[in-house]
Structures are given as C-alpha cells and as structure tokens.
Amino acid sequence: MSLLATWISHLLTAAIPSAAIAGLALVAEPLLARCSSPRLRAALWWAVLLRLVLPAQWGLLSVSGATESAAARETGSGGTIVALLWFLGSLVMMALALGQHRLLIKRWGRANPGPLPDSLRTAAHSAARTIGLRSSPHLEVLSGATGPAVLGFLRPRVILPGPWLPRASAEELRHVLLHELTHIRRRDPWAHMVVLVIRSLWWFNPVAWIATKRLATLRELACDAAVARVLGEQSPAYRRTLLALSQRLVMAPIGFLGRPSPLIERLEALRNPRDRRGQTWLASLSLVGLLACSGGGPAEPSPGSPPPLPFLDADPQGCFQKRMLVFHLLAEEALQARR
C-alpha cells in the first residue's frame, strides 16, 4: 500500500474508535463529575485525541478490513483530491489559530511602559512559591486585555488587564495569580498547543472539536481545584473572586451539547471542593486502558472470503499483478453474489 493509501486509511479507521470513546466520555463524564477529579475526566478526552493519532493496530478491538481496502481503492485521482483537501484544510486551520493569537495580542495592545509596582512583583513571587514554581514568570499589564490569561508556549507570560488592576484587592490579585501560575506549573500552554495541532490535522472530524472544547474547560476546572486545595478554608473567597471577574458571563445558561456554561461549571465545582490528588494514577490507568481497548488492526477475513494477496498492497505495476488483481476482485464479487 502506498504512503497516500496508508494515510487515508488511517484517517478513516481512526475515526471509528475515537468516536466510540467520545460517546463513552459524553455519557460517563457527567456521572463522574461529583466523584472524580477534572484530571481523570480529561484522561477520557485525551484518549479520544490520542486514538486519532495512534496507529489502528494499537488496541484489542478490531477495525473492519473493508474500511482499509476501500481506502486503498481510493488512491487514484479521487484519493489524491481527498489528500489535497485534507492538507489544505489543515494549513487553513493552523493559519487561523496563529492568526487568532496574533489578533488577540494586537487587540489587547502593548504592555504598559515603566516598571511594574513592587506590590505586584511581591504578590507574584509569593504566589509562585505557594504553588511550587521555582521562579515567577514574566508579568505584563495590558490596557486592552479583557481578563487575566497566560500567553506563550516557550516562555509563557501572565497577562493582567490594566483597567482591573487598580480596583483589585490584594486578595483578588493573589487568587488570580495563583490560578494563572497554576496553568504554567501544569504546562497547560504546551497541552493547548498539542490539542490545537491534533484538531488542525483532524479538522473534518467533529470528535476533535468536541474534545478540544471539553479539555479547555477541564483545564480551568483543574486549576480551580488546585487553587482551592492551596487556599483550604479560604476557597469560598476564591469562588467569589471568580464570580466578580465574570459577572457578564454568569447569565449565559446554555453550554456546549446541553452542558452548563464553563463559568457555571467552574462555580459549581468550587461549591464543594475536594482533595482528589490520589486520582492521578487512576487517570493514567484509565487513559492506557481506553487506548488499549479502542484500537485494533484489520479484522480477520471471513472463512468464505478469498485469501489476501501480499503483493496487492503495492501498486500493481506489472501485467501479471494487474491480472491477479482483476481475478481477486472477481472472486470477491462472486462470493458477495452467492450471499
């Protein structure tokens, strides 16, 4: 099988097990919301994305060989068009992601000139020590920023909105810094970049878009849970800070696929925060188990089907190969007619 046929076959066969895991995640995640950590639920969606990337032979379940043979037959002009459309779509998706990032930076404006206040630097160093960072990342105050954020992958920096900073109390500033620095400690910028790359490659698959959205929300929930653990009995104050920063979004009751909006989901999770740090190993085992059970190579041929011909995996260049390919296809049609 040519390289083009192999790639088209992978695109088709990977969609089936990933859709199965996505359906499982959509059903299981609401049931696990009250008894599991966001990290465990995120493992379900990481399994969905990794199932798209990993070879189809990884796993216990079988994928029908008919899908691969159909993909192999599409390697002519039609297969070339499909591959070209996929490649162009991936380039467009990556360009859009990069363009949105640059547009956001341009809209937020440049950092305020002059040194940062000593109180802000002190609060950042204190928050970094609290969550276990060796050093405090670079801080920037942007006048056009609509809310706190972390930008950048190689050298992430914490963005603070200029209009909000003078009105923020010391407690609110500490809560915001703890949350944003937790994103950096968890390496969420790198995770976000990996998700965007996978979504750009599988832009035509709705499963990739659903997983991307859920993972973004679960990253926020995981950071909220980490900050609540650090604050302990003061976690209700953190919930009030989150509510104060997002007053305009509180009235949005509709979420994705019937779920509550991410803000309401975060506020509900902070109502009764629990320490679930011991579930990290369970999340890893769940991820490995789902990947093991969702893949699989081509199914074994049925007893009545003609045996596969090894040389048919390559392009039938010779006359003998072309004749044998015709005979093989005729034998398949005869068996189907008998059935």
Q: Which residues contact 243 (CB under 8 A, 6 or more apart)?
A: 250, 267
The per-residue pLDDT of the chain, averaged, comes to 74
Look at residue 334 in the predicted model and tell me its pLDDT. 59
Residue-wise pLDDT tens digits, 9-35: 777 777 788 888 888 888 888 887 777
Segment 233-289, tens digit of pLDDT = 888 899 888 888 776 444 433 333 334 456 667 767 776 665 555 545 454 555 555
pLDDT > 90 in the chain, percent? 26
Higher confidence at residue 151 or residue 110?
Answer: 151
Q: Quick one: what percent of the chain has pLDDT higher than 70?
A: 63
Q: What is the DSSP letter of 140?
A: E
pLDDT for residue 257: 35
Identify the CA nearest to 215 among candidates 232, 191, 238, 236.
191
Beta bridge partner(s), residue 138 = 157
Question: Does residue 142 sit in helix, strand or coil?
Answer: strand
Give yes or no for residue 162 having a pLDDT over 70: yes
Which CA distances in Å does 156 have to 30, 52, 153, 330? 32, 28, 5, 60
Nearest to residue 210, comparing CAs of 220, 198, 222? Answer: 198
Residue pLDDT, tens place only, 131-141: 999 888 889 88
For residue 295, the model assigns a pLDDT of: 53
What are residue 61's phi and psi, to 5 degrees?
A: -80, 150
The three-state DSSP-derived secondary structure of 249-309 is HCCCCCCHHHCCCHHHHHHHHHHCCCCCHHHHHHHHHHHHHHHHHHCCCECCCCCCCCCCC
Residue 318 dihedral angles phi and psi, to the nearest 5° = -80, 165
